[in-house]
Structures are given as C-alpha cells and as structure tokens.
Amino acid sequence: MHGNPIELIVGLGNPGPQYQSNRHNAGAIFLAELCRQYQGQLRFESKFAGEFGAITVGGKDVRLLFPTTFMNHSGRSVAAVLNFYKIDPGNMLVAYDEIDFEVGVTRFKDGGGHGGHNGMRDIINVLGGRNGFYRLRIGVGHPGHKSMVSNYVLSDPSKSESDVIASDIDAAIRVMPQAIAGEWEEAMRLLHTQD
C-alpha cells in the first residue's frame, strides 16, 4: 500500500498549562516532541487559530499544527491551514489520544469514523464529512465506563503510563520519515511490530 505523502501533521489537545500533560493532549505532546526532534518551532498564528510551524523530514517540508481552539472546535483551525496551503485532507496526519487502546498501543489508521473523539468529530464535520485522512492513534487506556471518560482524558496519566506514552511517541516519530514519504506499509509495519 503506497499511500499519500504527508504535508500537514496535526496534534490534538487543549491549550493552556492545566491541560498540557492530560491524556487528551497526547496528540499535542506528540506534535511538540516531533517539532523538537526536528528542530522546528511552533508559533501562534491567529489566522490558523493555532500554533503552527514547519519541519523538514527526509528532504520534505511538512507543516505542523496544534489547534488552540479547544478540542471541540479543532476543525476550524485544521480547515484554515488546509485551505490556505491548498492541502488535500488525504495528505494530512492527525495525532490524537485513543481510549480504545491500552497504554502502550499506538497505531496508524487510514480514514474511518471519529470513534467518539470530539476533536476528530469536529474535523470531519468541518471538512464536510471527508474522513479520508491518516491518523496516529496514541493509546491512553479506558477508565472502564463511558460516564468516566471525560474526567479520565482531562486528567494526567500516572508516571509509569506517562513513560510508556512517551516511548510510544518516540517510536512513532522514528517512523515519520516513512509515513511522510507515503510509504505507509513500511511505516505501519515498523510501528506496529514495536509494541
């Protein structure tokens, strides 16, 4: 499966220091770490309603976005960047926290629904139902009951969980050159055999 190369990577989360280490910010934590490892810089851009930057991976320029609209309005920020740079959603990767995966499981996915994730739901809505973009689903575990999910994702993982999530994020960053080049089969194989 030779898929699409990636031109935009979005990391989902909520803005503000009180949310910074929350499970719900796993995508934003991934984005910040990717940016750091590739010597990029994220700066607030009001026209994109988010923190925006660019890095070069394997000779390709990739734009990075952390929507600072709060999770439920992430789509506005994503659409602004896609429209401004004329990027097709099929050339986008969105990283986010996945409660259906245990901590320690991180997976790529091509397309699909929002799986109850508010940030993903909003992005798909704003894109007019277009959901054919890549995802990086970072496992944060599930609290056991639906009614507990909101408090759970808006709290910080334990130290040991946080270490596992950080090593998952590192593993995902290691395969970004393949993912960005559109070598999805290879990227998935490398990432999915690590856990």
- Residues known to be catalytic: 24
CB within 8 Å of 106: residues ≥ 6 apart? 98, 136, 137, 138, 139, 168, 169, 171, 172, 191, 195
Instruction: Give the 3-state secondary structure percentages of the chain, helix then strand then coil, rounded to 5.
Output: 45, 20, 35
> What CA–CA distance (Å, rounded) separates 34 from 172?
9
Q: What is the CA radius of gyration of the chain?
A: 15
DSSP secondary structure of 24-45: GGHHHHHHHHHHHHTT---EEE
d(CA 5, CA 17): 33
